[in-house]
Structure 1
Amino acid sequence: MDRSVNRSTTSRPVPKSLMQHIKWEYLAAGISGGVVSTLVLHPLDLVKIRFQVQEGYGVAVSNRPQYQGLFHALRSIFTTNGFTGLYQGVTPNVWGAGLSWGLYFFFYNSIKTWMQDGDTKKALGASRHILIASEAGLLTLVLTNPIWVAKTRLCLQYETSSASSVTYKGFMDTLVKLYKYEGIKGMYKGFVPGVLGISHGALQFMTYEEMKNKYNQYLERPVDTRLTTVEYLSFAAVSKIIAATVTYPYQVLRSRLQDQHTNYNGVIDVIRKIYKQLGMKGFYRGIVPALLRVTPACCITFVVYENLITYLLHSNQNDTDIKVKVTTDNSKTA
């Protein structure tokens, strides 16, 4: 008798595991948003990468074309290779963006809901949003870095490349040759600046979440209240511009490390050479096409994502709420 009492008094509730908060709808919605935005805006991404690795006219690599600006680059690529040239490297970009956004949203929302103990109306605050976004970013980077290396290599495969350079025939061919000639190390080139770039996603998601929360709190409604498309667009654009501007230099470092035409001895060597060749402005080379691409890309991704989540998850909840209300009303009438 006493033993049973002791067991009941000393027993504690078992905390819910992270697995209980996993919803695959987040993965599907994130992939959809990433794929749509990438297909629409890939040409700007192509130009951004080519600007990032451009050393300048005084130290130009012989087989690398030099561009005088965004429109000159787009026109030159189109003139040389036609419309398909503007979509060089699009396959790994679609895979990379789709999986990255899908996995990021999947990890982010699973960890977030776990920290909320399943209560989506619970506001976590800026510090926890940064922590959640950082964890989601690191997990996503580990899984997708080889895809980004392949994308960079294909985007930097110029029509004037020398015969001695490795020629890539497509996404899978690039991955195979990366592993064959450079091993695992080659597939994870740019990983260190990529880790530094986790701050980009952390800053973006923290800003995005805090703006949504503060906005809903200002209107005196739960923080998980669904917003309009215009509201999602506005918050996504502002958060992306802030994050992209603050953290942009890491993208330049990563692109240069992944470039098959130049060899560097690590991150410090890249930083030293960029500063020597171009000064501080070299760390922001390509930021104009980058902002022109990532801002609308982020808006498209977030709008597609949020609307799909509303359809996949919250529409079912609304139907349930309506059925419960009807049942309650009928019981009262009876």
Structure 2
Amino acid sequence: MSGGVVQLRDEGSQKQVLIAGAVAGLVSRFVIAPLDVIKIRLQLQIHSLSDPLSIRNVNGPIYKGTLGTLKQILREEGLTGLWKGNIPAEALYLTYGAVQFSAYKYTSSLLSSMPAPYQLPDPVNSFISGALAGAGATTGTYPLDLLRTRFAAQGRDRVYSSIMASIRDVATTEGPKGFFRGLGAGVSQIVPYMGLFFASYESLKPFLANMAIPLPFGTSDAAAGVIASVLAKTAVYPLDTTRKRLQVQGPTRSRYVHRNIPVYKGVVRTIGHIWKREGMRGMYRGLTVSLLKAAPASAVTMWTYEQAMAVLLRSEDKLKDE
């Protein structure tokens, strides 16, 4: 195994990985929050602008592209509208980042320690470790993801007045299952996404580090994170749209900024419904802003993680020298 390929999984203790992952998730979330709100608004918009018949009797905004959505949110809801759902989202990214990197390090180290006949190639190791880490982190933090989506879907008329109010409302009217609406789509999405992301990242990082030409985004870590994220995100995007549509189901479905969201039940039936009514365009609505979001998010996440880990390792060395 080459040193570059195994660097991420070998460096730092479990505690250091946990701290660095949490910091990376927290910083990344704040940077891309506005793009996340725009993406969610576009994903929940069921009508196509190219079909005049589809926008009849629509009670809610009609967003036109990334820039148009940005302008409309600023005009109707102000600057704070771009950070709706940021509190549960920060908690989500903080927890998710810590669990993800910690689980990835533990799983990949475990697989790397297998006896020679059963030892996996680096790309396979990275794929399995990333997929399992993503599935575990997604399941554990899913209620925060659902609340983030619901707050981002609110327009000027509030559905929930606060985080605590939203938790009480979901628990009372929908029960424990209400916090996990769309989890099947989330896990189905994150397993291939994180597997592809980490496999691509680990493969690209040493290759880009040895390139003689200057890299965009500053470092090979950031550049590899951007490319890996774009590839993985595009592959699984229909499942992300499906997850968002399922997350806003329930008794509050008709109170969000888009008041004509259909009733969906189950991942497969939701995919079939979107494909039949909205076609390929409906499955990939908001992909442009999603990729715009994914690139800086992954770049910031991986760069911050590497920098935070470097600081922790230097601090540990200083303590040892004293």
Report the TM range for the smaller structure's normalisation: 0.7 to 0.9
CA contact (8 A) 1:37 1:300 kept: yes
User: C-alpha displacement at 1:230, in angstroms?
Assistant: 0.9
1:115 has 2:108 as partner: no
For residue 305 of structure 1, what is the aligned residue in structure 2?
305
CA contact (8 A) 1:229 1:303 kept: no
Segments of structure 2 that go 5 or more residues without pairing to the other structure are 1-11, 49-53, 212-216, 255-260
CA contact (8 A) 2:38 2:289 kept: yes
| Bigger radius of gyration among the two | 1
Structure 1 residues 91-129: Cα deviation after superposition (integer angstroms, max 9, x where no partner):
1111112211121011101222233349xxx99511111
User: C-alpha displacement at 1:51, in angstroms?
Assistant: 0.6
Which one of the candidate residues 48, 51, 65 is aligned to 1:69?
A: 65
1:208 has 2:201 as partner: yes
- Paired positions, count: 284
Structure 1 residues 167-222: Cα deviation after superposition (integer angstroms, max 9, x where no partner):
21122322221121111211111101111112111100111112235567x79xxx
Distance 1:147 1:99, change over 3 A: same
Distance 1:73 1:215, change over 3 A: closer
For residue 102 of structure 2, what is the aligned residue in structure 1?
106
TM-score by length of structure 1 reads 0.78
User: C-alpha displacement at 1:68, in angstroms?
Assistant: 1.0
1:176 has 2:168 as partner: yes
- Matched residues in 1 for 2:16 and 2:56: separation? 47
Partner of 1:157, secondary structure, is coil
CA contact (8 A) 1:50 1:156 kept: yes
Mapping of residues 1-334 of structure 1, within 5 Å: 23-56=14-47, 58=54, 62-117=58-113, 124-159=121-156, 167-197=159-189, 198-213=191-206, 230-259=219-248, 260-261=253-254, 262=261, 263-313=263-313, 316=316
- Matched residues in 2 for 1:158 and 1:110: separation? 41
TM-score by length of structure 2 reads 0.81
- Matched residues in 1 for 2:110 and 2:83: separation? 40
Indicate the percent of aligned positions where both proteins have the same amino acid. 28
Partner of 1:56, secondary structure, is coil
RMSD: 2.6
CA contact (8 A) 2:112 2:125 kept: no
CA contact (8 A) 2:39 2:290 kept: yes
Code of the aligned partner of 2:229? K
Structure 1 residues 76-104: Cα deviation after superposition (integer angstroms, max 9, x where no partner):
11111211111111111111122111210
Code of the aligned partner of 1:193? A
